[in-house]
Structure 1
Amino acid sequence: MRMRLSTAVAGLLLLAGIGAAAAQDVIIEPEQETVIKEYVKKQPLASVKIPGVELNIGSTLPDTVELHEVPETKYSYVVVDDRTVVVDPGTRKVIKVIE
């Protein structure tokens, strides 16, 4: 009986972990992505370098990097190594890299 219970608890914890990881993924709606791309095109920024930071979705940008708000969205952006990076300003996590 104890073995079944601990197996069930382990399974629930595993599912909870998967759910928490999925909840961290940010999906930009197509309309929002269009707004972001158009705004970034009209408001180009100088490219910055961030030594030691890989530009992957989920990477966190340091506080030293200045983020620029995209009006009509809840996102910010910055240009790093000539790539536009869309960032969640609350967590400073990269949510999209626009080539």
Structure 2
Amino acid sequence: MKSLILSSLTAVNLFAGVAGASAQTVIITQEQAPVVREYIVRQNVTPIQPVPDYDFVVGTTVPEVVELRPLEVPELTDRYEYVLTSSGQTVLVEPGTRRVVQIVD
């Protein structure tokens, strides 16, 4: 019985650690944020208006009606797409899946 409880606790801790790690994933570091902001300013992108019945939240899928732009910053090793919101946030999106991976203020 003791080993069953220990095994169960180990599994719970393992899953909690994995969930915590994925929730804390950082795509753009604080050091990279100014470079990304400068890139977006140079692109002269018009912020999008709010999308009815949708909030940009990490893990959600961006609706097809939202036009995504490639984020082509050489300092980033992975490629992402982005959208600039009317509130001034940059929403980073995983290409292909349209899943929000980070929101940069």
Q: Into which bin does the TM-score normalised by the smaller protein fall?
A: 0.7 to 0.9
TM-score (norm 1): 0.73
Secondary structure of 1:83's counterpart equals: coil
Tell me the equivalent position of 1:37. 37
Aligned-pair identity (%):
26
Structure 1 vs Structure 2 CA RMSD: 2.3
TM-score (norm 2): 0.69
Unpaired runs of 5+ in structure 1?
Answer: none
Tell me the equivalent position of 2:100. 93
For 1:64 and 1:11, how far apart are their aligned partners in 2?
44
Tell me the equivalent position of 1:53. 54
Q: Describe how 1:1-80 pairs up with structure 2 within 5 A.
A: 2=1, 4-24=2-22, 25-27=24-26, 28-46=28-46, 47-71=48-72, 72=74, 73=76, 74-80=79-85
Paired positions, count: 96
For 1:5 and 1:23, how far apart are their aligned partners in 2?
27
Unpaired runs of 5+ in structure 2?
Answer: none
